[in-house]
Structure 1
């Protein structure tokens, strides 16, 4: 899942981006509305986190115009403005969530995860593929009842693959959804991570390589 963070305060932006990346999300960042506009033009995001008051303008007005173009990407506003009227205005223009500063970073991460899930096809929080259990709410994976220790990035890749179970997921799509703009498309980061994930999932391995294209999560391999 890929997120855009729009925040002009460098230290706060760094902290938010680091926390979201630590939670397994691919995160791009922008310091103002023009940069955010460019990012949204070229990339499809699962969620956008806007600081409401930016030197380049009020993000509330930007989101109002964004919704007018038919864009439905979930939006979370970060703001120091905490009156009921402020919150109602945020929802009225098409915002999906509103978090008042100062905020607890774990709460922000949980809210962003929730909005990202809302952006896609709604799925139950706990899914079973044979003996493999994937808990998207708690970010846990079990096989045969045994918890597997996977990294946030490994979970993100597994989440994308299982969302398209028995279908081929192109390598480029995994990069777009699980890595941010700093990733080098020609590197072997995907291959290395999938190899690690296969070792942890054990045999029979449900992740097949479709040579020259990408990967497929095969439900028949789940006992």
Structure 2
């Protein structure tokens, strides 16, 4: 059943998503302040008819409504550039995973663990018990928490898009080209995403399921993988 917290973002599970959420909240506060001030000015002028020389002819008001937008844009631009830098900040990854988009499923390869390759198809509704419909997959992408992860994505046929909202991640999977995502996961759990590019008739049926594990559990999974 829908609840009020569903009106906002998902709970962040990575530092990247935390930065995006903070920047969104900061920008929304500025937009709310602008909207309130403009609304109050319109009410003030409409009801009190104070269209005097200060509002129509004074040079001071010209300076004010020219300088204020410049200041507001700088106020938004500086944290925006900082957020973009942090999202694309290169680092030495602990693990590299390659995600290849197909019509209409994802396949994964672990570069650091030769032989670990698998496809992830959406689970049919008839096979579900209590899982999430249209988001469950037959194989999960297992990743360690508190580790630097690099995900390389490409497309095998048409353009897809690998996106996981809880991590604040989205990258196009373009045939013949490699795109890169750098991130880390803060907490264990199961996280879902979907292809965010209209890639064909079954576009909405190629979900992403990530199982975030403590490093020990992840290594046990990797060593036991057949």
Q: Please, what TM-score do these two structures have when normalized by structure 2?
A: 0.24
Q: Say which one has the larger Rg.
A: 2
Q: Which has the higher contact order (CA 8 A, sep 6+)?
A: 2
